[in-house]
């Protein structure tokens, strides 16, 4: 059913929850993963004053992206799931636009992504790539929310909270 699963990864706990769920689905259905990481250089435009070497900063972002996708690929392969990865560089466009385009171009049967589940002012300030993907994607989207901390301990982590389109 879901032979090709697109998984955006950013190194966050929420992203890792999404990746783990995608790995479970791929194992159950004999699917393949494409892991993508979007490096958005625009977020630093004007944020740094004179004397800041932005080329070094951008290279650091690229290097971090390579590390993130390599770790995600390794996790998938440890579980016996075929995975490939791609780093996408952006200047200004939201990551969600690239996720939706990648799902169409590959073409994916499903997008699985972690979401932070922000609400209120945090959501307004930070935006929601997950919400944007759900609105624009032409394939099903499975959102996996990172389980919130409760009482100083993480709540049950064997199955994340899941919302589907």
Domain holding 151, by residue range, is 4-164
Residues whose CB falls within 8 Å of the CB of residue 113, separated by 6 or more in sequence, listed in order: 7, 8, 15, 18, 99, 129, 130, 133, 141, 142, 143, 144
The CATH number covering residue 135 comes to 3.40.50.620
Q: Kindly write down the DSSP assignment for every residue of 103-139, as one continuous string.
A: HHHTT-SEEEEEE----HHHHHHH--HHHHHHHH-SS
Q: Per DSSP, what are the bridge partners of residue 145?
A: 115, 161
Tokens encoding 54: 């932005």
Q: Which residue has the tokens 């890792």?
A: 16
Whether the model clears a pTM of 0.85, i.e. scores above it, the answer is: no
Q: Which residue has the tokens 């004179």?
A: 50
Domain count along the chain: 1
What number of residues does the chain have?
165
Mean pLDDT in order along the chain per 10 residues (165 residues): 96 94 97 95 53 72 94 97 94 89 97 78 57 93 77 48 51
* C-alpha pair distances (Å), 95 with each of 3, 9, 36, 38, 131: 23, 11, 10, 6, 12
**How far is Cα 102 from Cα 74, in angstroms, rounded to an integer?**
21
């Amino acid at each position: 059913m879901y032979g090709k699963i697109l998984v955006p990864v950013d190194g966050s706990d929420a992203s890792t929850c999404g990746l783990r769920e995608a790995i479970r689905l791929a194992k159950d259905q004999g699917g393949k993963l494409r892991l993508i990481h979007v490096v958005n250089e625009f977020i630093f435009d004007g944020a740094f004053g004179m004397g800041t070497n932005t080329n070094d900063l951008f290279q650091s972002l690229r290097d971090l992206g390579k590390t993130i996708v390599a770790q995600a690929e390794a996790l998938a392969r440890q579980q016996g799931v075929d995975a490939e990865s791609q780093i996408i560089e952006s200047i200004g466009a939201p990551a969600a636009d690239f996720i939706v385009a990648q799902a169409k171009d590959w073409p994916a049967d499903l997008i699985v992504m972690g979401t932070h589940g922000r609400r209120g002012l945090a959501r307004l300030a930070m935006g929601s790539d997950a919400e944007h993907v759900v609105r624009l994607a032409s394939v099903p989207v499975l959102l996996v929310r990172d389980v919130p901390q409760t009482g100083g301990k993480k709540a049950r982590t064997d199955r994340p909270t899941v919302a589907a389109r």
